[in-house]
A and B are shown apart, each in its own frame.
Chain A
Amino acid sequence: MAQMRLAPGNGSTPDPTSHRGPQDSWLRRNRQTLAPLLFLAPGVIFFLFYVIFPILQSFNLSFYRWDGLGEPQFIGMENYRELLDDRAFEVSLWNNLKWLLLYLLAIPAGLFIALFLNQTVTGIRLYKSLFFFPFVISQVVVGLVFSWFYDPTFGLLNQVLGWVGLGPLNVLGDPTLVTYGIIAAGLWPQTAYCMILYLTGLNAVDPEQVEAARLDGAKGAKMLWYVIIPQLRPATFVAFVVTIIGALRSFDLISIMTNGGPFGSSRVLSFYMFEKALSEYGFRMGYGAAIAVVLFLIMLCFIAYFLWSMYQDDKGGR
């Protein structure tokens, strides 16, 4: 290329770009391709290093037995075989499923609160803030508040149950109730989140369509189902995504409220992975990685669905 520049306009080497003169470097010619690559580079590099690479590392680690100190020892599928036989893992998996299903209740609940609050009365901003409040406070605080609420001796729940003549209930100490108790605590902030998403969504609802529907005699549930909700589709999609992610990440509430107990009945996969790999009595890195891989595969189903659905939207938009 240097030679080309040294011999501009040389008839024996027909070069379509040569007429632009010597400043015309490779960099200049390719800047259309380079610029986006350059802008993408930081993101891509960080994504590779902090997301893709650790994922591959976890996959690899799940085939080893390693305590984090000595030499890792390759054991093939042994960790996964142990998982199949591990009751604590089974409990965690079922709990994850409960979380996924019940956490979705936040979406309709959020929608109805949003519909309820979507009106103009004095002080509506205050009411909205009050409903939004649980989302602003930390999950740790939510966990503490609900632990006190459920407390078997002085908790509000048992006081109220006492008034209507129902026996004391130790929600967080009962292996059959504990997961539902924690999910209820998690729904409080999650509902607020969905509510905000729907409140902004409702602002975008086309009043003319509502007007037209009203002229056609639609009202109540029909109006909601056929006119409002279809227009809220983008908000619903986002609410669905954040709720699924929230359900799979449910770690802090469990850690604060029960520490996985009683006797491990409120664990979910993420908590179990932490316990096995990183907690005081853990440090089975390979086994923890195997749990993480399973959790990743579950998440992958949802991620694939989200990506596919966004891709479809994109295609439709064009």
Chain B
Amino acid sequence: MNTLKGTVAGIALSLGLATAAQAELSGTLKIFSDMSNPAPRAVMEQMAAEFDAMHPDLAVELTVIDREAYKTQIRNFLSANPPDVANWYAANRMRPYVSAGLFEDISDLWNEPEIADALASTKGAMTLDGKQWGVPYTYYQWGVYYREDVYKELGLEEPGDWDTFKANCQKILDSGRKCFTIGTKFLWTAGGWFDYLNMRTNGYDFHMALTNGEISWTDDRVKQTFANWRELIDMGAFIDNHQSYSWQEALPFMVKGEAAAYLMGNFAVAPLREAGLGTDQLDFYQFPAINPDVELAEDAPTDTFHIPSGAQNKEAAREFLRFVVSADNQTKINSGDALGQLPVNSNSSVDDDEMLNQGFAMLSSNSPGGIAQFFDRDAPAEMASVAMEGFQEFMVFPDNLEDILNRLEKARERVY
């Protein structure tokens, strides 16, 4: 039976009948997914059902695991009980599994013209050691979400440079509000601020070299980034006691108008709208340039699908990845009533949403420097945890900078 199938597939391939080869998919396709929140879960279930219907001989088995629990479970199941397809994150977050040989090299997929061209913008994020280890399925922009009505009331414009940014902030402070809300209890939000300040001060390449451990944390250029950050801290730009709040707990400050803006990922829009902010109250701008000599670069964390190297049905898994990134599917799963994020395929259309349109335009045409993932995905996990703790401390006690940087430098020497 197997040999027969092999022959048929061989003939089909030799005749170049790609569709015939597709129809050959059989057996089961086991998918482990971390898309456990309601909207992503619906998307994942729908994709699995659709793929199942497309391939009558193939049974798709979907297991959805809680998003946080998944982060530890993946270590077990990749080696003990590997599925055929698994979710994960891009960039250095893949490193442990790539080094341990647990992810399949799928550079062959990336050589196919449909993927190579349409997904070019995220190729870098999926590449480690010159090979590609997965495909993205969604990403979202970061930037400054602000209270449009507050800006209007104070006669402020979206800032295009650092001086306007600070001048705006001063006016907001003078009106008795804080410029930015932030909740650093879980540390990563401070990582977002560092990403932007460092990419704007020293540029994308420097930022990547720093997160890759090639540059010392006590370098003067890093200190310049912190000096810029300190200007905001000394002005009192951030809400007080941010070390006690999670990012969600920091939202009410913006909703109540006590803080005028939030440097965040696009996922903050939904809760802000649900809390009652209308379209004329909420708007978005790109983080302004600080050093005019460096090109603008953005954070756009990408979520991904991978094939574990121990997968049983790699043929079907590859076909599933092709299906996930196809233009139609990308349009569908990233639409406003599904994930509400940005499609990774450049041939897809973006949902007609004020924020998504601005984000899409920003990432596709106004981010010449490059697209970073996020601090805790670009830097190795251990470095990220030590560094983000340092960022939080810096935001509360800016005077400790010297000590913090020495600590980070010590961690860098050990981690890399």
Interface positions of A (Cβ within 8 A of B): 67-70, 82, 87, 151-153, 170, 172-173, 258-259, 261-264, 275, 278, 280-284
Residues A173 and B241 in contact, CB atoms below 8 Å apart: yes
In addition to A283-B75, A284-B382, 9 A-B residue pairs with Cβ atoms within 8 Å of each other are A67-B96, A68-B75, A70-B100, A152-B244, A261-B389, A262-B184, A262-B244, A262-B393, A281-B384
CA distance A170 to B239 in the complex (A): 13
CA distance A87 to B394 in the complex (A): 17
Residues A262 and B102 in contact, CB atoms below 8 Å apart: no
Within residues 94 to 121 of chain B, which ones have a CB less than 8 A from any CB in chain A? 96-97, 99-100, 102
Residue of B nearest to A155 (CB): B244
Chain B, residues 54-86, CB within 8 Å of chain A (1/0): the string is: 000000000000001001100100010000000
Minimum C-beta distance from B96 to chain A (A): 6
CA distance A87 to B389 in the complex (A): 13
Residue of A nearest to B383 (CB): A281
Listed by A's residue number, 17 A-B pairs whose Cβ atoms lie within 8 Å are A69-B75, A69-B79, A69-B96, A69-B97, A82-B414, A152-B240, A170-B241, A172-B244, A173-B396, A259-B185, A259-B186, A261-B187, A261-B389, A261-B392, A262-B392, A262-B396, A280-B68
Residues A258 and B100 in contact, CB atoms below 8 Å apart: no
B349 contacts A by Cβ under 8 Å: no
Contacts of B68 in A (CB 8 A): 280
B68, B244, B384, B407: residue with the most chain A Cβ atoms closer than 10 Å: B244
Known: A69-B79, A69-B102. A281 touches B396 (CB 8 A): no
Within residues 179 to 211 of chain B, which ones have a CB less than 8 A from any CB in chain A? 184-187
Residues B382 and A281 in contact, CB atoms below 8 Å apart: yes
Chain B, residues 220-256, CB within 8 Å of chain A (1/0): the string is: 0000000000000000000011011000000000000
Minimum C-beta distance from B79 to chain A (A): 7
Contacts of A275 in B (CB 8 A): 385
Known: A69-B79, A70-B99, A170-B244. A281 touches B186 (CB 8 A): no
Residue of B nearest to A68 (CB): B75
Contacts of A151 in B (CB 8 A): 244
Known: A152-B244, A153-B241, A258-B185. A283 touches B381 (CB 8 A): yes
Residue of A nearest to B384 (CB): A281
Residue of B nearest to A153 (CB): B241
Chain B, residues 375-414, CB within 8 Å of chain A (1/0): the string is: 0100001101100011011001000000000010000001
* Cβ 8 A contact of A173, one of B71, B187, B244, B376: B244
Going nearest first, the 3 A-B pairs with the smallest beta carbon separation are A281-B385, A263-B393, A262-B243
Give the interface SS of chain B, mostly helix, strand, loop or mixed. helix
Known: A69-B75, A259-B186, A264-B389. A281 touches B243 (CB 8 A): no
Minimum C-beta distance from A109 to chain B (A): 27
Residues A280 and B243 in contact, CB atoms below 8 Å apart: no
Residue of A nearest to B249 (CB): A151
Residue of A nearest to B75 (CB): A68
Minimum C-beta distance from A87 to chain B (A): 7
- The contact size tier of chain B is 20 to 34
Residue of B nearest to A258 (CB): B185
Residue of A nearest to B404 (CB): A263
Residues A280 and B244 in contact, CB atoms below 8 Å apart: no
Residues B381 and A280 in contact, CB atoms below 8 Å apart: yes
Contacts of B381 in A (CB 8 A): 280-283
Contacts of B187 in A (CB 8 A): 261
A152, A153, A261, A262: residue with the most chain B Cβ atoms closer than 10 Å: A262
Minimum C-beta distance from A284 to chain B (A): 7
CA distance A67 to B384 in the complex (A): 16
Residue of B nearest to A280 (CB): B71
CA distance A282 to B382 in the complex (A): 6
Contacts of A281 in B (CB 8 A): 376, 381-382, 384-385
Contacts of B185 in A (CB 8 A): 258-259, 261-262
Residue of B nearest to A87 (CB): B407
Contacts of A278 in B (CB 8 A): 72
Residues A263 and B241 in contact, CB atoms below 8 Å apart: no
Residue of A nearest to B190 (CB): A263
Contacts of B96 in A (CB 8 A): 67, 69, 283
Chain B, residues 358-387, CB within 8 Å of chain A (1/0): the string is: 000000000000000000100001101100
CA distance A259 to B99 in the complex (A): 30
Known: A258-B185, A261-B187, A262-B393. A173 touches B384 (CB 8 A): no
Minimum C-beta distance from B334 to chain A (A): 26
Contacts of B79 in A (CB 8 A): 69
Contacts of B72 in A (CB 8 A): 278, 280
Residues B71 and A263 in contact, CB atoms below 8 Å apart: no
Residue of A nearest to B388 (CB): A281
CA distance A170 to B407 in the complex (A): 26
Known: A70-B99, A151-B244, A278-B72. A263 touches B385 (CB 8 A): no
CA distance A280 to B385 in the complex (A): 9
Minimum C-beta distance from A234 to chain B (A): 42
Residue of A nearest to B187 (CB): A261
CA distance A151 to B185 in the complex (A): 13
CA distance A52 to B301 in the complex (A): 44
Contacts of A259 in B (CB 8 A): 185-186
CA distance A281 to B385 in the complex (A): 6
Contacts of A173 in B (CB 8 A): 241, 243-244, 396
Contacts of B100 in A (CB 8 A): 67, 69-70
B71, B382, B414: residue with the most chain A Cβ atoms closer than 10 Å: B382
CA distance A278 to B384 in the complex (A): 15
Contacts of A280 in B (CB 8 A): 68, 71-72, 381
A259, A280, A283: residue with the most chain B Cβ atoms closer than 10 Å: A280
Residue of A nearest to B385 (CB): A281
Contacts of B240 in A (CB 8 A): 152, 170
CA distance A274 to B382 in the complex (A): 13
Minimum C-beta distance from A280 to chain B (A): 5
B187, B240, B243, B381: residue with the most chain A Cβ atoms closer than 10 Å: B243
